[in-house]
Amino acid sequence: MASFILNGQETTADVDSAMPILWVVREKLGMNGTKFGCGIAQCGACTVHLDGQPVRSCSTPIAEAEGREITTIEGVSGPEGELTAVQRAWVSEQVPQCGYCQSGQIMSATALLRDIPQPTDEQIHAAMAGNICRCGTYTRIRRAIKVASGQLEPRSEEA
């Protein structure tokens, strides 16, 4: 029986301790915001926070989360569903296309901005290079991170 805190809630799951966090969260706990992309920690679609640190949940067994805090995309917004600065910037810069990778992108960006409030391009690249976006929204992700960190003005809708 695995026991951990998921998005602030004490949670247990009766699963094989080797089962990756990704599948525990998706299939056993019904939270589908975290996505499966590659299964080998190469694409970042499954990124969640473990005690605040971004990890690839497809390759992190649930045993590693024992007694620790897992945060998924469902847990990043405020208690009333208020969007975070990162999410608001994702809207203003109209980042997503298909959107499948974006939970992972937002989890990586959220961790980056907590550690480095005003990252440079190099710091953005270092934090985000593990997240593939097949639709190619990279330039918007870079801009959105700068908007979220107050380094750029948000796009206006009529532009």
Distance CA 143, CA 154 (A): 9
In the complex, which residues of this chain contact another protein (CB under 8 A)?
A: 15-16, 19-20, 23, 27-28, 30-40, 42-43, 45, 72-74, 77, 81, 83, 87, 90-91, 94-103, 106, 124-126, 128-142, 155, 157-159
- R_g of the chain, CA atoms, integer Å: 16
Among residues 4 and 23, whose Cβ is nearest to another protein? 23
Distance CA 44, CA 57 (A): 9
With tokens 């951990």, the residue in question is 4
Among residues 4 and 102, whose Cβ is nearest to another protein? 102
Task: Give me the least distance between CB of 26 and another protein, in Å please.
Answer: 8
Among residues 4 and 24, whose Cβ is nearest to another protein? 24
List, in sequence order, every residue forming a beta bridge with 3; answer none if it has no partner.
Answer: 12
Q: What is the residue type of 90?
A: W
- Give whole-number Cα distances, 16 to 11, 26, 27, 119, 147, in Å: 15, 15, 13, 39, 42
Task: Give me the least distance between CB of 137 and another protein, in Å please.
Answer: 7
Task: Give me the least distance between CB of 58 and another protein, in Å please.
Answer: 9
Task: Give me the least distance between CB of 16 and another protein, in Å please.
Answer: 6
**Helix/strand/coil for 83:** coil
